[in-house]
Chains A and B, each alone.
Chain A
Amino acid sequence: KNQVEQSPQSLIILEGKNCTLQCNYTVSPFSNLRWYKQDTGRGPVSLTIMTFSENTKSNGRYTATLDADTKQSSLHITASQLSDSASYICVVSSHGSSNTGKLIFGQGTTLQVKP
């Protein structure tokens, strides 16, 4: 069964600290993996997209990694800010005759950054 599991479920850190969020998936066949940020009361916004051949991709203070062999991804946030408080959702895209473009969503990690 295609699944995306994220950990931890929630996380509290102090402003200025770093943190890493994890995403494990069992989606097959794999097309790409995205990380979305969802602020409270808003819709998700895409942060990064990674394909099979990419190991690392950065977007400002956000760095995503992908290990296609172990089917794991991580999102590292450097020097956290209060505005990083949000839910972070891992989304894996599958492809194939019946699954083209199918997205499988993780449940998200809720991050709270405290001053």
Chain B
Amino acid sequence: NAGVTQTPKFQVLKTGQSMTLQCAQDMNHNSMYWYRQDPGMGLRLIYYSASEGTTDKGEVPNGYNVSRLNKREFSLRLESAAPSQTSVYFCASSEERGDTQYFGPGTRLTVL
């Protein structure tokens, strides 16, 4: 039982490049989330998926897209990376929205 897994762990991009962050959970949770964490800002919700087949914007969705591929997987895509997207990205899941969330280990992204 791995919980929530994220790939990659680290990534360096140049401005304008694109990439997809992968997230998977093996707890049969319905809800999944993507957050970014910046120094002094706390965790901010980018997008969430309350259940398979649905996605909704969070607090800071601009510059990102998501795909709920199936119940297990929820990916985050940066189409044209910008230095302002340098951050640590966390994926999380919960049984239902509002329940205790289980977080992945994070992806540290640097955009030059």
Q: Which of A's residues lie within 8 Å of B, judged by CB?
A: 31, 34, 41-46, 49, 89, 93, 95, 100-103, 105-108
Contacts and interface: CB of A to CB of B under 8 A. Distances in A.
A108 B38 CA distance: 12
Q: Is the interface of B mostly helix, strand, loop or mixed?
A: loop
B43 interface: yes
Contacts of B92: 43
Contacts of A102: 98
B103 A43 contact: yes
A107 B40 contact: yes
A34 B100 contact: yes
Interface centre among B31, B98, B102, B103 (most CB of A within 10 A): B98
A108 B88 CA distance: 15
Contact of B104 (A31, A43, A46, A95): A43
A9 to B, nearest CB: 9
Contacts of B100: 34, 46, 49
A43 B23 CA distance: 13
B43 A93 contact: no
Interface in B69-112: 90, 92, 96-106
Contact of A103 (B50, B90, B98, B105): B98
Given A41-B106, A42-B106, A43-B106, A103 B42 contact: no
Contacts of B103: 43-45
B96 A101 contact: yes
Contacts of B96: 101
Given A43-B92, A46-B100, A105 B106 contact: no
Nearest to A34: B100
A106 B44 CA distance: 10
A31 B92 CA distance: 20
B4 interface: yes
Nearest to B90: A43
A37 B43 CA distance: 13
